[in-house]
Amino acid sequence: MKNIIYEYNEVKDEKLKKYIIDTPLLHKYFKLDWKILKSQQYCGILNFEDKDYYLLPKIADNDDEKNLDIFIYMLMYAYDIKLENEDIASCKNEKHNILEVFIQLFAKGLFKEFGRGVYKEYITEQDNLTTLRGKYLINENLKYNFTNAKIYCEYDEFSMNNTLNQFFLYAVKTLMPFTRDKKLLKQCELVLDEVEYRHLDINSFMIHFNRLNLRYRDSFEFAILLLSKSIPLFSKDKKSFAFLFDMNMLFERFVGRMIKEIEPETKLQSYDVYGDLILKPDIIVGDLIIDTKYKKLHVKEDIKRDDKFQMYVYGKNYGIKNMMLLYPKHLEHFDYDFVLGTNGDEILMKIKSLDLGFDGCSYGEYIEKIRERLEKII
């Protein structure tokens, strides 16, 4: 593999460094300090001048392929992405990058659902017609048809031009420039030829799913993921882009989903208000609150005072005595116990580390190994 940049490491390619510095959209993902540009906690892919640069977590020392495998496996599990072995292999042999593989998987799934029937729903339309259809609109006819031999009507049309299909058309057109193989996306676009194109704000866009369109929910959620993590850096002569994930969020989502599979009653991202406090612990499992921290912890003195205070506040407000800060293993395993508070207000806090590494196994074996390690911790 080529063009690897590890998290928190220096970007040494001078042309890439200059491009990042000159591109404001990339500034949040890198840090410039005394002319040294370093990556941050964001991992994924950055395409520049038709070259793919992988930004990876450094979990397996000095093994680029394993680190890429771990990153892909964490994405697959956290977001329930079902890749085949050949898809993963194509990322490593540079035949395709991660984003291209994900786009093809999305397009394949969407086109398969279209094959079962394009979703239609009744849409209320208003139009000036030659014959009456539906409801006669008195005011509109007085306004438009005083000297016109037409009838202004309001009627219901069973149409594919609905909000869900408008979203899919927007997703297909938006993702098109990110991949070299556009065949499947163009087939999906052709299916939607009767749908009106609209620019959508995915941050506030919502779809109500029911028994008639529920089969499209996986495609919808996958499209939202791709659109939210893709960063277009297109210009007239270049089509650079980035596809980056915050490892803090990925680690939290990865661990949270696994604990919920182990203990189905687990609450994830519980949101509660206590007076003026808005509390949102990562994971509540039984009588234990867990907050994941994707940070390099060298010694227990590195644990921030604010993190301890946050866990104490959680414990007192939720009435739970057991807290845990869970870090990824960096140099060594951590297993510390703290007592926060005094005189009957004590909260017990554990510091644990989860080894995310593995030694040459498949996706299924990797997930099973991490689950075994996590079960011992909780």
Residue 64 has pLDDT above 70, yes or no: yes
Of residues 215 and 331, more confidently modeled: 215
Q: Identify the weakest region by mean pLDDT among 61-70, 119-128, 323-332, 333-342.
A: 119-128
Name the β-bridge partners of 45.
54, 243
pLDDT, mean of residues 110-135: 83
**Residue 220 pLDDT:** 96
Rounded distance between C-alpha atoms, residue 154 and residue 147, angstroms: 20
Rg (CA), the chain: 26
**Residue 300 pLDDT:** 76
**Residue 79 pLDDT:** 95
**Residue 237 pLDDT:** 57
**Residue 133 pLDDT:** 75
Strands (DSSP E) found in the chain:
4-6, 30-33, 36-39, 42-48, 51-56, 121-129, 135-136, 151-159, 230-234, 239-246, 267-268, 272-274, 277-279, 283-285, 288-292, 322-328, 335-340, 347-354
pLDDT, mean of residues 80-108: 87
Please answer whether residues 282 and 291 qualify as being in contact, where contact means their C-beta atoms are separated by less than 8 angstroms.
yes
Please answer whether residues 293 and 307 qualify as being in contact, where contact means their C-beta atoms are separated by less than 8 angstroms.
yes
**Residue 86 pLDDT:** 84
